[in-house]
Chains A and B, each alone.
Chain A
């Protein structure tokens, strides 16, 4: 680690509520350590605003380890910022240069109303999971774990999909504002595994219906989502979702 500092300008989105008018606010920040994370840079700004008697910027964050999926913002036009496969909390200031202007906006999508500043309401994603993102098994006495054999490569593929952190960057990056990468990841994980096969049809249909209900668009194969996905989930999962959905539409027994 090399401890250098830089001076930067930030243009950051301020909005008091879902119906309020928002605007960019500019701040000059001095002596930001290049070893600090992007969120720590916002912390520094917020400490300064507080001492000045101004309101700090509201932003979601929790684990700061890139796994909880709570943080996220559009940085210079890209969801989660310029680094590949990196959540906002894992983006570090060494990625920026002295004198840079950094534009920070909330994730924007029809399905994510703004709550305040950079905070958006992503509860639609929870409702999509509630529509079918599970295996219907009650807690009790299931069979021994090793009675379900799963080939290693299948387990690995399922894990690739299961790595989704539900941050919503896919919807924020998509021109159609769709979280289909998020849906695709969950549908794929469970469709690949024997445990999930039984309910695969119902799951694909119900989750897609819920997505429509939430006001999200459909996939147009722009691939912006996989470009910003912090967990490297590929649109192959959307292809699998489409296949599952189509298959289910033709064959489901009502």
Chain B
């Protein structure tokens, strides 16, 4: 596997211009001869589909849900960053770039991050033009709020529903192209595999989730915008259908998978409360603007929050990080919450929680102001927990939220399989080992609106503009493999064999992942997980019961296929975590910490992107390294003190 990141030469501020100028162009008359498959309709997928449609390409867009508007980008709450410097508080493109590289603990590519910071401003303009109702100041200008990991106010937002509004903007733009016929929409379709012909991506195999039919689609290029793999942990803030299948199958077809161990554990989620629980709910990081995080000073203090006097509370983030306080980056906030709970200071029935308290903010600004900012989040919290955050502090605990790792891509967002692109959370490129708040929306839209549309032409210009077809035997062969897997998954149906459900195995996998490859990891635990996962996988294939048939709408079968891939992918994630014997960002190896229990990087040995190449079933994947060099932001021990 050759890793050529294709980063243009020259000063960082000129690289993107250089790339755009040196890219080959497809002339307007020829654009209509090209077909592009885009899998996923979240921010990265919908924005790319809309833009490529506008440019004149023929887009086939696929989504797993009943409507493209349901993609999980919709659940993003807090906001989207851009370096507009509307507040005049010292922001700039370079500062956004700097904060993102530093926030990612110096494990991202400088050139990609700089480009992200450059195009971020265009995103805001584009979304405003689309009619996205961003929050406004009284004078009618755009409002900003602060977010973790930054000391400037650069986050644009639409109440606590920013993801929803940005997604609906991109979705509407895409539906406009659906109306013109440039985008053909395929809903309730799940990508089951990638079709590679002579080493080049030529199409996909999908399952029609309504009829169960296995369908083949061809194109000149394939774009995966299929999101992250957080659900390998079973419990996460991801939507129920979020999965790794498209990315993992592409990995098995030759796409390198980069840094799978970089998983973001979000500090402010509603704590776990029972075995029946199906998912975890995020409470936006924006709450840390006004909420104060604390635990009782004394171990085992089980009094109600209101009964604990001020002098017996430990506002540990404010105490330990006076300059960033409650707004430290997510990885730092999560680790500190875990530490407090490990020390026995955790709150609630389980002892796995900390307080996020709004009492001071309400006293300072008034209930009205606080409700206007966070009303919908408070409402959601109360629905779930039956407790009113304006009267008693919220209880929060970290949960799996976002995955920084993903398919390896070059500067053009192309994977190691020619013709296969990965955008948004699905790729690894911009967040290093930790993503800053309000940067996921920024990256998804940057990739889809402003990067891919420029870079994909450079590839398409080298592909003859002749119609594509699914005639190549590779399509039939890949479709047959998909069908065989379905038959294998359903072998216990009506066999009367007492088996277990898909969820049973998913939960078992999730527990191993969380216990041994969660917020803190060590060699011994990771090696144990590496031994356990194949055992669970073997049990799964032996005993899983999938009711119904493959030729109909069958949600158990859908889940079974996804869990089957998680059971392989989990192993890859753990292997990556074991290989990286340093702590960085969201990846915390207990063996590598400073005296103050902060993550300790090992730049001498691990300043690289770990890219895994599939070597066949039962064979250890090969590790390739893309060295990371830093010319503009000199790596240092991150300090938020």
Closest residue of A by beta carbon distance from B64: A62
Question: B133 contacts A1, CB within 8 Å?
Answer: no
List residues 435-488 of chain B with CB under 8 A from any CB of chain A: 449-450, 453
- Of the four ranges (under 10, 10 to 19, 20 to 34, 35 or more), the interface on chain A belongs to 35 or more
Question: A67 contacts B131, CB within 8 Å?
Answer: no
Chain B residues with Cβ below 8 Å from A252 are none
Contact for A126 among B67, B210, B503, CB less than 8 A: B67
Question: B135 contacts A155, CB within 8 Å?
Answer: yes
Question: B187 contacts A123, CB within 8 Å?
Answer: yes
Interface flags, B43-72, vs A, CB<8A=1, else 0 = 000010011001000000000011111111
A162 to B273, CA, bound (A): 33
A7 within 8 A of B: no
List residues 132-152 of chain A with CB under 8 A from any CB of chain B: 133-146, 148-152
Greatest chain A CB density within 10 A among B133, B241, B385, B496 is at: B133
A166 to B142, CA, bound (A): 26
Interface flags, A124-136, vs B, CB<8A=1, else 0 = 0110011101111
Greatest chain A CB density within 10 A among B67, B124, B453, B496 is at: B67
Question: A159 contacts B142, CB within 8 Å?
Answer: no
Shortest CB-to-CB span from B96 to chain A, Å, is 16
A148 to B130, CA, bound (A): 12
List residues 90-144 of chain B with CB under 8 A from any CB of chain A: 122, 124-131, 133-142
List residues 153-183 of chain B with CB under 8 A from any CB of chain A: 158-159, 161, 163-165, 168, 171-173, 175-176, 178-179
Closest residue of B by beta carbon distance from A155: B136
Interface flags, A29-60, vs B, CB<8A=1, else 0 = 00001011101100110010111011110101
Question: B69 contacts A126, CB within 8 Å?
Answer: yes
Question: B128 contacts A148, CB within 8 Å?
Answer: yes
List residues 84-114 of chain A with CB under 8 A from any CB of chain B: 85-86, 90, 92, 94
Q: Which of B19-27, B217-225, B545-553 makes up part of the contact surface?
A: B545-553
- Of the four ranges (under 10, 10 to 19, 20 to 34, 35 or more), the interface on chain B belongs to 35 or more
A212 within 8 A of B: no
Greatest chain A CB density within 10 A among B131, B134, B142, B179 is at: B131
B620 within 8 A of A: no
A3 within 8 A of B: yes
A137 to B387, CA, bound (A): 44
A43 to B140, CA, bound (A): 46
Interface flags, B375-390, vs A, CB<8A=1, else 0 = 0000110011111000
Question: A134 contacts B175, CB within 8 Å?
Answer: yes
Question: B210 contacts A190, CB within 8 Å?
Answer: no
A240 within 8 A of B: no
B616 within 8 A of A: no
Contact for A195 among B131, B137, B385, B503, CB less than 8 A: B131
Question: A158 contacts B386, CB within 8 Å?
Answer: no
Question: A33 contacts B274, CB within 8 Å?
Answer: yes
Shortest CB-to-CB span from A161 to chain B, Å, is 8
A195 to B74, CA, bound (A): 22
Interface of chain A, main secondary structure: loop
Chain B residues with Cβ below 8 Å from A193 are 131, 133
Question: B274 contacts A35, CB within 8 Å?
Answer: yes
Question: B274 contacts A36, CB within 8 Å?
Answer: yes
Contact for B453 among A43, A139, A150, CB less than 8 A: A139
Chain B residues with Cβ below 8 Å from A189 are 131, 133
B239 within 8 A of A: yes
Question: B131 contacts A135, CB within 8 Å?
Answer: yes
Chain A residues with Cβ below 8 Å from B282 are 65
| CB contact under 8 A between A129 and B72, given known A3-B273, A68-B239 | no
| CB contact under 8 A between A50 and B547, given known A90-B384, A123-B66, A146-B141 | yes
Shortest CB-to-CB span from B491 to chain A, Å, is 14
B30 within 8 A of A: no
Question: B176 contacts A134, CB within 8 Å?
Answer: yes
Question: B128 contacts A195, CB within 8 Å?
Answer: yes
Closest residue of B by beta carbon distance from A41: B276
Question: B276 contacts A134, CB within 8 Å?
Answer: no
Question: A150 contacts B74, CB within 8 Å?
Answer: no
List residues 187-246 of chain A with CB under 8 A from any CB of chain B: 189-190, 193, 195-196
Question: A166 contacts B276, CB within 8 Å?
Answer: no
B278 within 8 A of A: yes
Shortest CB-to-CB span from B271 to chain A, Å, is 9
A26 within 8 A of B: no
Chain A residues with Cβ below 8 Å from B135 are 155, 159
Greatest chain A CB density within 10 A among B75, B134, B349, B555 is at: B555
Chain A residues with Cβ below 8 Å from B259 are none
| CB contact under 8 A between A55 and B547, given known A123-B187, A155-B133, A189-B131 | yes
A243 to B371, CA, bound (A): 32
B632 within 8 A of A: no
A119 within 8 A of B: yes
A64 within 8 A of B: yes
Question: B176 contacts A67, CB within 8 Å?
Answer: no
B530 within 8 A of A: no
A66 within 8 A of B: yes
Question: B165 contacts A162, CB within 8 Å?
Answer: yes
A69 within 8 A of B: yes
Chain B residues with Cβ below 8 Å from A33 are 274, 276
Chain B residues with Cβ below 8 Å from A130 are 175-176, 178-179
A183 within 8 A of B: no
Chain B residues with Cβ below 8 Å from A1 are 273, 349, 385-387
Closest residue of B by beta carbon distance from A135: B131
B369 within 8 A of A: no
A163 within 8 A of B: yes
Chain B residues with Cβ below 8 Å from A35 are 273-274, 386
B523 within 8 A of A: no
Shortest CB-to-CB span from A63 to chain B, Å, is 4
A11 within 8 A of B: no
Closest residue of B by beta carbon distance from A192: B133
Contact for B164 among A37, A67, A123, CB less than 8 A: A67
| CB contact under 8 A between A190 and B349, given known A121-B66, A122-B66, A130-B178 | no
B279 within 8 A of A: yes
Contact for A64 among B137, B172, B278, CB less than 8 A: B278
A47 to B506, CA, bound (A): 13
Question: A62 contacts B72, CB within 8 Å?
Answer: yes
A251 to B242, CA, bound (A): 47
B84 within 8 A of A: yes
Contact for A142 among B74, B128, B164, B379, CB less than 8 A: B128
A181 within 8 A of B: no
Greatest chain B CB density within 10 A among A131, A146, A152 is at: A146
Question: B555 contacts A129, CB within 8 Å?
Answer: no
Contact for A149 among B141, B379, B384, CB less than 8 A: B141
A14 within 8 A of B: no
B528 within 8 A of A: no
Chain B residues with Cβ below 8 Å from A53 are 494, 496, 545, 547
B522 within 8 A of A: no
Question: A152 contacts B140, CB within 8 Å?
Answer: yes
Question: B129 contacts A137, CB within 8 Å?
Answer: yes
Closest residue of A by beta carbon distance from B238: A63
Closest residue of B by beta carbon distance from A125: B67
B630 within 8 A of A: no
Shortest CB-to-CB span from B178 to chain A, Å, is 5
Closest residue of B by beta carbon distance from A83: B383
A137 to B159, CA, bound (A): 24
Q: Closest 9 interchain pairs by CB?
A: A149-B140, A134-B172, A142-B129, A145-B128, A155-B136, A159-B133, A158-B133, A139-B51, A130-B175
Which positions in A face B, CB cutoff 8 Å? 1-3, 33, 35-37, 39-40, 43-44, 47, 49-51, 53-56, 58, 60-70, 83, 85-86, 90, 92, 94, 115-116, 119, 121-123, 125-126, 129-131, 133-146, 148-152, 155, 158-159, 162-163, 165-166, 189-190, 193, 195-196
Q: List 16 A-B contacts (CB under 8 A).
A: A3-B274, A3-B349, A36-B277, A40-B276, A40-B278, A63-B239, A123-B66, A126-B68, A129-B172, A133-B175, A144-B125, A146-B142, A155-B133, A162-B168, A166-B67, A189-B133
